């Protein structure tokens, strides 16, 4: 069974809802979740917040957080995942923000740096990816790790 199928099964069994907040993954997590028949029973939607204005306005990420830590940070994905749960009114959520490449990296945040946060009720766990495999593989790896993170949290 695929990870997204297992997630759906658990969400249905526990009568929970899920939302996503995606930046660097650009809707790819949502696509994997909604590819599963019956996902409308537990999946409410996604906010693809590629721009910081969207992060601030729809996900309630603080301008101070973005200024102090940047869009690609643990602090930002924590605020994104909380914002997704609040805005979309779900029991759990997953959020991603990172530098998929090939450009955009810095010495302190090189290409391949991606932060993921998963939340279930009041519990939040995060993960940092730091390997550049190329744009498409970076995105795919982030999607897989995000799905694994939410599965770990709801099990």
Give DSSP secondary structure letters for 56-115: HHHH---HHHHHHH-SSSHHHHHHHHHHHHHHHT-SEEEEEEE--SSS---SSS-TTEEE
Give this prediction's pTM: 0.97
- Note the pLDDT of residue 92: 98
**Domain total in the chain:** 1
Average pLDDT, integer, range 126-137:
97
Q: Domain of 45: which CATH number?
A: 3.90.950.20
Look-up of token digits 């766990």: 125
Average pLDDT, integer, range 127-132:
97
List, for residues 52-85, the tens digit of each pLDDT value.
999 999 999 999 999 999 999 999 999 999 999 9
Q: Using a pLDDT cut of 90, give the percent of the chain over it.
A: 98
By the 8 A CB rule, do 26 and 48 touch? yes
Parent domain of 140: 3-154
């Amino acid at each position: 069974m695929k990870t997204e199928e297992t997630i759906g099964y658990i969400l249905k069994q526990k009568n929970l809802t899920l939302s996503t907040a995606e930046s660097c993954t650009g809707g790819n997590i949502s696509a994997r979740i909604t590819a599963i028949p019956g996902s409308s029973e537990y999946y409410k939607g996604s906010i693809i917040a590629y721009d910081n204005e969207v992060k601030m306005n729809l996900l309630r990420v603080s301008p101070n957080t973005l200024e102090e830590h940047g869009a690609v940070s643990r602090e930002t994905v924590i605020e994104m995942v909380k914002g997704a749960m609040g805005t979309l009114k779900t029991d759990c959520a997953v959020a991603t923000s990172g530098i998929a490449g090939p450009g955009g990296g810095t010495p302190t945040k090189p290409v391949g740096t991606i932060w993921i946060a998963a939340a279930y009720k009041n519990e939040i766990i995060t993960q940092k990816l730091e390997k550049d495999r190329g744009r498409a593989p970076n995105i795919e790896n982030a999607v897989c790790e995000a799905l694994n993170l939410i599965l770990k949290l709801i099990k």
